[in-house]
Amino acid sequence: MKTLLLIGAGRFGRHIARKMSELGHEIMVVDRDEKHIQDIMPYVTNAVIGDSTDEKFLQSLGVSNYDVCICAIGNNFQASLETTSLLKELGGKLVIARSSRDVHEKFLLRNGADEVVYPEKQMGEWTAIRYSSDKIKGYTNLDGEFALYEMRVPAEWYGKTVLDVDVRKQYNINILAIKKDRKIQEIAMPNTVFHKDEIVLVLGRNEDIVKCFKL
């Protein structure tokens, strides 16, 4: 279990809080808006109304005691920048900040953020890739060059094994697992046989996966 200090209880913050709560973590939330605090209370351990750009207020929360600090402010970049900087100055172990523009990302990283998330950009890229081909059922970017894809098993693979198709040797990509009905059926082994209506999880460079599955 981790302890999380979440600054900003808007829609993005609520999604974070809901999921972190499901995972069993402790969450303290700060927001200026009383309604936001009321809406997020079912998902958090504690919540307080306050100004995260006020150093004394933020210090009173014991920033250094939290495993992760997330600044989820999305509609006020100045407040986001000041809050991020203060979180790091006050001893935040891991400070994550939300960005809404590329230039904001650079400033946040220079002023205290250990990592930056850019939800609109990341979801835009995911949506574009996910729906660019009927063969793609899921996509996770790893570092820009490498990615994890969920792909429909090609018809020419039906009845063949992982060793038979040998995509690792031909395309330098790795087959990790087989999914069916949205669940992992098995970890891929050399003798795993492919069948119709299965999804294969593959890891590799984007360009190699494009070539392998003829995207």
Beta bridge partners of 186: 178
Tell me the pLDDT tens digit for each residue of 46-80.
999 999 999 999 999 999 999 999 999 988 999 99
**143: pLDDT strictly greater than 80:** no
Tell me the pLDDT tens digit for each residue of 74-97.
889 999 999 999 999 999 999 999
pLDDT average, residue stretch 101-117: 90
Select the more confidently predicted residue: 120 or 3.
3
Output the pLDDT for position 129: 82
**203: pLDDT strictly greater than 90:** yes
Output the pLDDT for position 69: 97
Contact 131, 149 (CB under 8 A): no
Number of helices and strands in the chain (H, E): 9, 11
Tell me the pLDDT tens digit for each residue of 18-48.
999 999 999 999 999 999 999 999 999 999 9
Q: 215 Cβ partners below 8 Å, 6+ apart? A: 132, 133, 135, 136, 209
Separation CA 152–CA 48 (nearest Å): 47
pLDDT average, residue stretch 157-175: 93
State the Rg of the chain over Cα.
22
Separation CA 13–CA 37 (nearest Å): 11
Output the pLDDT for position 181: 87
Contact 154, 213 (CB under 8 A): yes
Separation CA 138–CA 126 (nearest Å): 8
pLDDT level of residue 182 (50, 70, 90 thresholds):
confident
Going from the C-alpha of 15 to that of each of 21, 44, 120, 182, the distances in angstroms are 10, 11, 14, 22
**pTM recorded for the entire structure:** 0.73
**16: pLDDT strictly greater than 90:** yes
**144: pLDDT strictly greater than 80:** no
